[in-house]
Structure 1
Amino acid sequence: MSLIKNKNLIYFYLFFFSWSFAQKRETTLDSTKIEQLKKVVVIGESNVMSVSKKLFTVGTIKRADIENVAGNNLADVLFNNLNITVSPDASNGRSTVSMFGLDGQYVKILVDGIPIVSDNGLGNNIDISQINIDDVERVEIVEGSMGVLYGDNSVAGVINIITKRGLKENGWALQLSLQEETVGNEFELFDKGRHIQNFRVTNQVNDKLSYAFGASRNDFAGFFNDFKGQNYVNIQNNTVINDSLRGSEWNPKEQLTVSTNLNLDLGKHNVFYKLQFFNENLDIYNRIVNGRFQNGALNPTALDENYETNRWVSNLNVSGPLTGATKYNFSFSYQTQKRNYQELVYNILDQRTQSIETDAVSQSSDVLYSKAFVSNIIPKSNVFDLQLGYEFTNQSGFDAVATGNYSSDVIENTITNYELFGIALIQPSNKLSINPGTRFTHSTQFKNQLIWSLSSTYDFTEKLKLKAVIGSAYRAPNFEELFFYFVDSNHNVRGNQDLQPEDGISLFVNLKDNYRISEEGYLTPSFNFFYIDLKDAITSITTEDEDGRILFTQGNIDYSKRLGFTLDNSFIYKNWNIGLGATYTGITNAISEDLDTNSDYLWSLNLQTSLAYEIAKWKTTFSTQLKYTGKTQGVFTDANGELYIGETDAFTWLNASLRTEISPKISATLGVRNLLDVVSIDTGTSAGAHSTATTSSRLIGNGRSYFLKISYNLNL
């Protein structure tokens, strides 16, 4: 049973109250403004590593927003975005994002415009809890299919993380922070809770050269939630009783991120280089205890697991004028990730590792990536312009876990993509612009593909703007879906190398205005309509192998569709900053046209509101964020391996924090996450031809957690 009930009436009252509150004009408040939290459209590229703002409406999470919620990784700050859902997995510790009900395979995550390597792909299905944001200037979010500019698998949107660059003035900057956080009601200085330490130093040598170095450690001790931990064993009458209470609800993990970057201006040309190393240790404690006798004494042990991930990222970006007003942008990246697996016998009474049964590399990925484009090719024309570019990706790797044994006899696979893209700017009048674009993709795994888009902007006035984008909704299968292979006496799970890419149509329309309500008051409403129609959508299926055994694999279902409307509002009055939004989304899936499947849309209401208030004379900001996520529809697999259409329950998330400057050099942030104490929600599958309806519970939170962050900043 879900811990938070679906009470739509309450949320409508909250929505109405927040809207009414946003309309009030306070006249007695301090006149100091705080930074506006809203979506912006910028004509022109002020930063060539940013998401293109000519064609898309870009939402921004700024550094101040990150500091207000004491965000350490990307999962900490994305939860409150209206159309993004963060989906954590308690078993493996991963947290992925979905947009408009489409999972992480449809959302591309970039760092400075370059996609990030993951366990089974590049840029998609990223564990966002592994992405440290201590050296991040801002996070850009674009909703809608962006395949022409950013390639396949950017069907639902793009999240681009922009790294900090240098200082405003020459000199040194030192930043230190310590953060202690409970996990639910669990906290001990070393053994329970979450413990974070950050260090960063930046040197602005002169107006042309700067460099920085930083390190961050995030120690998550797990979420016990009535489980008893690693060293628990139930012994009665000299016999081990397996009560399945050993271990933890959420597995513990420790992360270390070290990065350095260099920013060099050579006249009008800019060179930016970033090198980052990431290490994660994830422990999985077996709930089954072996109660063996050794030398006449009881010696309880457990067969535990450890996964260690090491990732290196080396990114280079060079940009500047090619000739006159024509600009170039070149990026090159080499990324490698390896995951080591250990199966170990843990002696519970001695609290030590007794022996290591398996120690092998279980996953490996190596990626070469390059992208370049030339923009403003016809600068003298007021009617027509052109941007042309290429993108190259070579990814090779293997997943030894999927072979069914841990030997060096693994099969390495490679996918190479060669892509050319172009976007035209046609501006018949000062108010209207039309941007057709195409991308040609040649892949060693799939047939040649043409991705297309057509966007247009019409400015009714200087502030009232209409933007529309229609284009391909193209997604290629990832490494796991193609090459996974795990076959032994108990398992028969394989990828499907005959999978076809998904394709379809996506349409996004945005109407936005900006009102000046008073001398110090602004209201920015934004209305969005979206439609996504995916053909041959990829999902898990059950069939038979060549020997007649049940085979769990991947297949293309008939379609998956999304239809929805979004109303988003930003209100600023003096030192008040209020955001208020709602999305009404319908989702429908069809497994097969031959089955009697209900193809009606399941409609879901999502609400989001945020409030920030600054007390200028105390240098203190209070902020709170509330998000209600309604029921969503998906394709599920029941106990018999059959696919059925089901739905996931609604839930509400509420955070609050207080950030203050204790001195010019020291600041503190105190807050609470998950104030409503959500832990799990129900996921139900509807009855099908061969099974009855079932309900299961899915963990999405670790209870109400409190945090305190102390930061020290020194400028020399």
Structure 2
Amino acid sequence: MSLIKNKNPFYFLLFLSCFLNAQEKERDSTKTEKLKEVVVVGESNVTSVSKKLFTVSTIKRADIDNVAGSNLADILFNSLNITVTPDASSGRSTVSLFGLDGQYVKILVDGIPIVSDNGLGNNIDISQINIDDIERVEIVEGSMGVLYGDNAVAGVINVITKRGLKDQGWQLQLSLQEETVGDEFEFFDEGRHIQNFRATNQVNEKLSYAFGVSRNNFAGYYNGYKGQNYVNIQDNIVVNDSLRGTEWNPKEQITASANVSLDLGKHNVFYKLQYFNEDLDIYNHIVNGRYQNGTLNPTALDENYKTDRWVNNINVSGPLKGETKYNFSFSYQNQKRNYKEFVYNIFEQQNQSVETDALSQSSEVWYSKAFVNNIVSQSRFFDLQLGYEFTNQTGFDANASGAYSNNVVENTITNYELFGITEFQPTTKLSINPGARFTHSSQFNNHVIWSLSSNYDFSEKLKLKAVVGSAYRAPNFEELFFYFVDANHNVQGNEDLQPEDGISVFVNLKDNFKIAKEGYLNTNFNFFHIYLKDAITSITTEDEDGRTLFTQDNIDYSSRLGFTLDNSFIYKNWNIGIGGTYLGVKNDIQASGSGNEDYLWSLNLQTSLAYKIPKWLTTISAQLKYTGETEGLFSNSDGEPFVGVTESFTWLNASIRNKITSNIEATLGARNIFDVVNINSSTSAGSHTGSTSTSRLIGNGRSYFLKLTYNLNF
């Protein structure tokens, strides 16, 4: 599973570089730039996200470096309204926004949705995104279907990757990161080990290119389990104590990428190629105590998933005439996941036989999007933006089809979409932006999505923005095609499902104040309401043979209501952020008559602190986040839905980043300082089952990390 362990070239190169620079005492004599806001309102130059239409929160590269995250989950964990949900078995980490899971959040890279196991842009495993390739992350809250189509119900996360350099020449970057997993760490065998290399060449002011490779090796989280080669033998008999394996399964990720940016006159062409490989091992906790030729030969039936993904993205942008500009994107992506089930010989520590070796999942996506803005640029009162989006996705997912399904469904969905946004500016302070999108789908009913946003500038600093918009969430592969039928079960998907419809209202008021001579306070207040109708949930009915059938239907609704207050205070070398959200959730399950008539309210708090010491070229930072009780929908063992409540928890990270020499930087820190591992969910499952309490893994304990980065510019 690992690469070359004892002779890893990444370690050799970094420590050679450190040795060559050991005598260097020179410090950067230029004045350190004043620490900027941790979260600011931004605008992407490669996508149609615009601060005129939406409030865009931006996580900058400096903030990413302060956290030294091992993947994107560590970066987004500190965002106020985002909750990261990890899965210990699969190693996946997905996000939820305002309590709506990853199926309602669209994730883009450079404005293009990412292919996932059985979707495009939604329910993405964010642990698979290489953060060393990220320039910044944009977060937009609210239904954004007009600009981003299906599944952009709760919001959009747009990852902007790095491009060229400011000056001509080369930049070589090499980084190593060693991290404990809880209190577990050994070089190569326990903990997390990350190596990254990237080279960028700014050939001239018009041409740049870059290439790099990254390896992220997670050795698993034991948490009391004994590992792959453990077996309990007493009196020459295998005793199954279920302690074999790990709590969190180990996985290794390799990412290789290359890009080129070329200016042709006033037009820019950007091409990015990426290959991703993930190798996930699942160790069975049960050991088979078999005898072979009179000798005890313990084995275990283990599993392995190997994912390969290729991404080809191209973006072309520039002026058409005057202020009228175009932006064209095209993407081809494919992903394949292979499943292997094999007998592992514990004494021999090798595979004994292969039971299953097959392609488990496959997705192929053709995607294109283009828009033209400032079409009526000569008018001071009216403007127009028009665009199209095309998606063709073909694939299958054997796991989502169900273990008992003999017919693995291959499905193709093609969407043709046209959208337009107009701008009316009756006064210099007021602008009104209505928009609409028409979607023709090969599988679902046609949809018309709409939005209306308005801005009013009371002054240069005090601004009001209101956004009302709609979006829809398409059914996923499992909801459509799942099949689990035997003598005791009859659970099937529903191929007639239609998308859920979502409507959101967001009102944002922002202001900034100058405090003292070098102090600034930025304040953002948000009111929001998200409403889902025709929500998909489990129902009980009868099949054609009169048997009880558990399936899915569009019958529920869900509502989110709340307020957010976010403040950023900057004074000299201090940068302090503090924010809170008061969120109310109301769900209704019409099929079972259960739900809650009133909103269940929860309080979420987030604070961040960064202090820069220019004399020592050091930044000290910390992030504290409190997540209150949340309400969600669960299913019992019979597939019946019910409402449950997940308990609150608090998460704290801290780090110190220091520039040791002009080329070498070190970041030392701790994650999950309060040692959160499990959180409990209490449920009241209705008439058939009483109240229950379950525990869910949310973290792998208090962890410590050290990251060394070597930068060479020439």
Q: Give TM-score scaled by structure 1 length.
A: 0.93
Q: Distance in 2 between matches of 1:705 and 1:51?
A: 36
2:456 to 458, 469, 476: 458
Q: Distance in 2 between matches of 1:344 and 1:544?
A: 38
Residue 409 (structure 1) shift: 6.3
Q: Distance in 1 between matches of 2:283 and 2:189?
A: 15
Aligned to 2:268: 270
Q: Secondary structure at the match of 1:65?
A: helix
Aligned length: 684
Which 10-residue stretch deviates more, 476-485 or 404-413? 404-413
Residue 324 (structure 1) shift: 1.7
**Cα shift readout 1:603-662 (whole Å, capped 9, x = no counterpart):** 000000000000001000000000000001111112343211111000000000000000
**Cα shift readout 1:535-568 (whole Å, capped 9, x = no counterpart):** 0112344554444555443332321000000000
Q: Distance in 1 between matches of 2:314 and 2:482?
A: 32
| Aligned partners of 2:153 and 2:502 also within 8 Å | no
Aligned to 1:470: 468
Aligned to 2:6: none
Which 10-residue stretch deviates more, 535-544 or 525-534? 535-544
| Aligned partners of 1:31 and 1:574 also within 8 Å | no
Residue 397 (structure 1) shift: 0.4
Q: Distance in 1 between matches of 2:584 and 2:47?
A: 34
Residue 50 (structure 1) shift: 5.9
| Aligned partners of 1:671 and 1:706 also within 8 Å | yes
1:564 is aligned with what amino acid?
G
Which 10-residue stretch deviates more, 155-164 or 596-605? 596-605
Which 10-residue stretch deviates more, 412-421 or 491-500? 491-500
1:38 aligns with 2:53: no
| Aligned partners of 2:397 and 2:477 also within 8 Å | no
1:52 aligns with 2:53: no
1:674 is aligned with what amino acid?
N
Aligned to 2:114: 116
| Aligned partners of 1:31 and 1:575 also within 8 Å | no
1:595 is aligned with what amino acid?
G
Aligned to 2:557: 559
Residue 505 (structure 1) shift: 2.0
Aligned to 1:399: 397
Aligned to 1:92: 90
| Aligned partners of 1:72 and 1:134 also within 8 Å | no
Q: Distance in 2 between matches of 1:596 and 1:134?
A: 46
1:591 is aligned with what amino acid?
I
2:477 is aligned with what amino acid?
F
Aligned to 1:684: 682
* Mapping 1:108-257, distance limit 5 Å: 108-257=106-255
| Aligned partners of 1:486 and 1:493 also within 8 Å | yes
Overall identity of the aligned pairs, in %: 76
Q: Distance in 2 between matches of 1:267 and 1:504?
A: 43
| Aligned partners of 1:339 and 1:362 also within 8 Å | yes
* Mapping 1:574-593, distance limit 5 Å: 574-592=572-590
Q: Distance in 1 between matches of 2:431 and 2:450?
A: 17
Q: Distance in 2 between matches of 1:537 and 1:94?
A: 24
Residue 239 (structure 1) shift: 0.6
Distance 1:254 1:422, change over 3 A: same
Q: Distance in 1 between matches of 2:277 and 2:406?
A: 23
Aligned to 1:669: 667
Q: Distance in 2 between matches of 1:339 and 1:484?
A: 18
Aligned to 2:19: none
Distance 1:674 1:645, change over 3 A: same
Distance 1:233 1:41, change over 3 A: closer
Distance 1:403 1:468, change over 3 A: closer
2:620 is aligned with what amino acid?
F
Q: Distance in 2 between matches of 1:562 and 1:406?
A: 37
**Cα shift readout 1:163-205 (whole Å, capped 9, x = no counterpart):** 1111111111100011000000000111110000000000111
| Aligned partners of 2:405 and 2:484 also within 8 Å | no
Distance 1:89 1:542, change over 3 A: farther
Q: Distance in 2 between matches of 1:381 and 1:403?
A: 54
Q: Distance in 2 between matches of 1:371 and 1:655?
A: 39
Residue 355 (structure 1) shift: 0.7
Q: Secondary structure at the match of 1:77?
A: helix
Distance 1:203 1:594, change over 3 A: closer
Distance 1:490 1:403, change over 3 A: farther
| Aligned partners of 1:166 and 1:202 also within 8 Å | yes
Aligned to 1:22: none
* Mapping 1:549-698, distance limit 5 Å: 549=547, 551-592=549-590, 595=593, 597-698=595-696
Q: Distance in 1 between matches of 2:468 and 2:76?
A: 26
| Aligned partners of 1:570 and 1:579 also within 8 Å | yes
Distance 1:663 1:50, change over 3 A: farther
Q: Secondary structure at the match of 2:146?
A: helix
2:359 to 358, 361, 364: 361
Aligned to 1:291: 289
Aligned to 2:75: 77
Q: Distance in 1 between matches of 2:681 and 2:407?
A: 39
| Aligned partners of 1:433 and 1:456 also within 8 Å | yes
| Aligned partners of 1:99 and 1:107 also within 8 Å | yes
Q: Distance in 2 between matches of 1:115 and 1:596?
A: 36
Distance 1:67 1:98, change over 3 A: same
Q: Distance in 2 between matches of 1:321 and 1:128?
A: 34
1:444 to 442, 445, 468: 442
Aligned to 1:7: none
Q: Distance in 2 between matches of 1:409 and 1:496?
A: 15
**Cα shift readout 1:13-71 (whole Å, capped 9, x = no counterpart):** xxxxxxxxxxxxxxxxx9962122233156xxx61336222201110111111111112
Residue 669 (structure 1) shift: 0.3
Aligned to 1:711: 709
Q: Secondary structure at the match of 2:472?
A: coil
Q: Give TM-score scaled by structure 2 length.
A: 0.93
Aligned to 1:301: 299
| Aligned partners of 1:39 and 1:57 also within 8 Å | no
| Aligned partners of 2:400 and 2:478 also within 8 Å | no
**Cα shift readout 1:654-690 (whole Å, capped 9, x = no counterpart):** 0000000000000000000000000000011114122
Which 10-residue stretch deviates more, 217-226 or 478-487? 478-487
Which 10-residue stretch deviates more, 573-582 or 593-602? 593-602
| Aligned partners of 1:358 and 1:406 also within 8 Å | no
1:180 is aligned with what amino acid?
E
Q: Secondary structure at the match of 1:536?
A: strand
Q: Distance in 2 between matches of 1:292 and 1:319?
A: 65
2:643 is aligned with what amino acid?
I
Residue 403 (structure 1) shift: 5.2
| Aligned partners of 2:530 and 2:560 also within 8 Å | yes
Q: Distance in 2 between matches of 1:542 and 1:302?
A: 38
Aligned to 1:699: 697
Q: Distance in 1 between matches of 2:548 and 2:346?
A: 38
**Cα shift readout 1:264-295 (whole Å, capped 9, x = no counterpart):** 00110000000000000111111111111001
Residue 479 (structure 1) shift: 2.6
| Aligned partners of 1:41 and 1:54 also within 8 Å | no
Q: Distance in 2 between matches of 1:404 and 1:473?
A: 29
Q: Distance in 1 between matches of 2:167 and 2:544?
A: 68
Gaps of 5+ in 1: 1-29
1:352 to 350, 353, 371: 350
Aligned to 1:536: 534
| Aligned partners of 1:212 and 1:261 also within 8 Å | yes
Gaps of 5+ in 2: 1-30
Q: Secondary structure at the match of 2:131?
A: coil
Aligned to 1:21: none
